[in-house]
Structure 1
Amino acid sequence: MRIAVTGSIATDHLMVFPGRFAEQLIKDQLERVSLSFLADRLEVHRGGVAANITFGLGLLGLDPVLVGAAGLDFAEYDAWLRANGVDTSAVRVSETLHTARFVCTTDEDQNQIATFYAGAMAEAPRIDLAETAERTGGLALVLVGADDPAAMLRHTATAHRLGVPVAADPSQQLARLDREQARRLVDGAKWLFTNEYEAALLLERTGWSEEDLLGRVGTWITTLGAEGVALARSGTPRLHVPAVPTEKIADPTGAGDAFRAGFLAGLAWELPPEQAARLGCALATTVLESVGTQEYKLLAADLIDRVGQTYGDDAARAVEPRLTGGS
């Protein structure tokens, strides 16, 4: 099952503020906010939602195709991704712009304030997904992640035209979309990913009720942080998958992308959605325990143990053959 992931490729500048944002906000002055948070730690890492997801898929042996735009400074990042199992042949490299930048500050309650500079991502609409599908021998699934909105719309339309199932994952770009754009991105998707806040924002943006939206997608997956994941499908009871617990959260950045990588890998291995979500939760917790979105080590025994400890021996046995290379 060849999976293409479209979306941002970026460099992450991650800072830690040793306090609480909420304590610095004055309720009746929110319309005139002018704040500076003194961070005591800075980490610079590779990131971008599409790159993060394909990195996880590459570590799991899925040979994913990364579809996005990067800049003049991409050579080292490109080599890193290829070394970790990612097909970067569909990445457009700008001749004039730098790779996108994600600048994020996290407080001690794991709240985050972030700014994203698009840079070379502005050239993503020039990428032809149909050409990528033909050159790679066909695609079984396309995840359309946060990207230049025109690129997201183009990739979604192309995938539908080619008859390739779509996983819609508008995430951070929801705030930029108007009603028609939001509807076009999710309508007809086989899988829909949001977090809890984005779920409410998506309903507001589309103007659809939850029932309306579920009637237009296959399965809606909502990540709930420490509470796990909810899977909703029209006409069936909502399914809740608890998170894999940890006592050593280092940085929440990238955990959602790791969940998507694990979930998509489970689908590629023909696991049922609930089991795929369990694998996704295990990979997400692995990322939570490291700083940076692609700095974690993926050990089969560790993932199997996490799944077994949280969901039971049967769940661990379901993923063990794939993670260890067995049949």
Structure 2
Amino acid sequence: MRIAVTGSIATDHLMVFPGRFAEQLIKEQLERVSLSFLADRLEVRRGGVAANIAFGLGLFGLDPILVGAAGVDFAEYDAWLRANGVDTTAVQVSDHLHTARFVCTTDEDQNQIATFYAGAMAEASRIDLAAIAERTGAPALVLVGADDPAAMLRHTATAHRLTIPVAADPSQQLARLDRNQARQLVDGARWLFTNEYEAALLLERTGWTEEHLLGRVGTWITTRGEAGVSLAGSDTPTLRIPAVLTDEIADPTGAGDAFRSGFLAGTAWNWPQEQAARLGCALATTVLESVGTQEYKLSPSDLVTRIDQTYGSDAARALEAQLARVS
């Protein structure tokens, strides 16, 4: 099962503020915020939601197709992704814009304040998913991640027209979508990914109730940090998967993307949803323990150990044979 991953390709500028954002906010002055946080660490890393998810799938040996727009500075990043199993032939490289920038500051409570500069991502709407499918073969699934909104809408419509299943992952772009756009992006999705905040925002943006939205998607997957993950469907009880906990959190950036990589890898191997979500949780924790979204090493034995410790030996054995085949 080959997966096309659409969305942002970016360079991450990750900073750490040795304090709490909440202590700097004055309730009576929230309409006129003017704050500066003195960070004590800066890491410049590769990122972007589509590139992060594709990177994880590449490490699992699934040969994902990365679909997005990058800038004139993409050559080194391109080589890195290809070396880690990602097909980058569908990436559109701008002839004058730089690759998108994600600038994020994290406080000691793991809260984050971020700004995203689109750069070359603004050209993503020019990408023709149908032409890519014709050239490389139709993928078994298209993940539509945060990207230029016009590109997200175009990729979603094209995938539905080609009868390719869609995994909707609007995440950071929800704030920019109007009601009609939000509905178009999620309606008919086989999988819908959000975190807790995005789940509430999605209901506000679509104007749908939770019950109505569940009737229009296959499975709605919500990541809940330390509380784990929930998987909800219209005709099945909500499935709750505990998180794989750790005391060694280095940086939360990219954990959600890693969960998606692990979950989609399990889906590609035709695993039950519960098994796929367990793998996603284990990989998310691996990323939590490293700085940067693509700096982790994928160790099948480590993933099996984490799954064993969190979900039990039966769960570990159910995944071990497939993970053992990951080089």
Same fold (TM > 0.5): yes
Counterpart check, 1:251 vs 2:286: no
Cα drift, residue 315 of structure 1: 1.1
Aligned residue number for residue 77 of structure 1: 77
Counterpart check, 1:278 vs 2:268: no
Aligned residue number for residue 46 of structure 1: 46
Provide structure 2 residue ranges, at least 5 long, that are not aligned to the other structure.
none
Question: Structure 2: how far apart are the matches of 1:41 and 1:119?
Answer: 25
Aligned residue number for residue 232 of structure 1: 232
Aligned residue number for residue 294 of structure 1: 294
Cα drift, residue 135 of structure 1: 1.4
**Aligned residue pair count:** 326
Indicate the SS of the match to 2:102: strand
Cα drift, residue 96 of structure 1: 0.8
Per-residue CA distance 1:68-102 (angstroms, 9 max, x = gap): 00000000000000000000000000001000000
Per-residue CA distance 1:192-222 (angstroms, 9 max, x = gap): 0000000000000000000000000000000
Aligned partner letter, 1:303: L
Indicate the SS of the match to 1:61: coil
Aligned residue number for residue 173 of structure 1: 173
Aligned residue number for residue 102 of structure 2: 102
Cα drift, residue 313 of structure 1: 1.2
Indicate the SS of the match to 1:35: coil
Cα drift, residue 323 of structure 1: 1.1
Question: Structure 1: how far apart are the matches of 2:66 and 2:325?
Answer: 24
Indicate the SS of the match to 2:46: strand
Per-residue CA distance 1:238-260 (angstroms, 9 max, x = gap): 11000001010000000000000
Aligned residue number for residue 318 of structure 1: 318
Alignment of 1:143-222 (within 5 A): 143-222=143-222
Cα drift, residue 48 of structure 1: 0.1
Aligned residue number for residue 3 of structure 1: 3
Question: Structure 2: how far apart are the matches of 1:244 and 1:129?
Answer: 36
Cα drift, residue 173 of structure 1: 0.1
Counterpart check, 1:263 vs 2:263: yes
Instruction: Report the aligned-residue RMSD.
Output: 0.7
Provide structure 1 residue ranges, at least 5 long, that are not aligned to the other structure.
none
Cα drift, residue 111 of structure 1: 0.3
Cα drift, residue 146 of structure 1: 0.1
Question: Structure 1: how far apart are the matches of 2:168 and 2:137?
Answer: 22
Aligned partner letter, 1:16: V
Question: Structure 1: how far apart are the matches of 2:2 and 2:133?
Answer: 10
Aligned residue number for residue 34 of structure 1: 34
Indicate the SS of the match to 1:208: coil
Per-residue CA distance 1:119-178 (angstroms, 9 max, x = gap): 000000000101111111221000000000000000000000000000000000000000
TM-score of the superposed pair, with normalisation by structure 2: 0.99
Question: Structure 1: how far apart are the matches of 2:301 and 2:274?
Answer: 20
Question: Structure 1: how far apart are the matches of 2:321 and 2:235?
Answer: 33
Indicate the SS of the match to 2:142: strand
Indicate the SS of the match to 1:245: coil
Indicate the SS of the match to 2:290: coil
Aligned residue number for residue 303 of structure 1: 303
Indicate the SS of the match to 1:193: strand
TM-score of the superposed pair, with normalisation by structure 1: 0.99
Aligned residue number for residue 59 of structure 2: 59
Aligned partner letter, 2:22: A
Cα drift, residue 319 of structure 1: 1.4
Per-residue CA distance 1:246-298 (angstroms, 9 max, x = gap): 01000000000000000000000010001100000000000000000000011
Q: Tell me the percent identity.
A: 84
Indicate the SS of the match to 2:263: helix
Aligned residue number for residue 87 of structure 1: 87
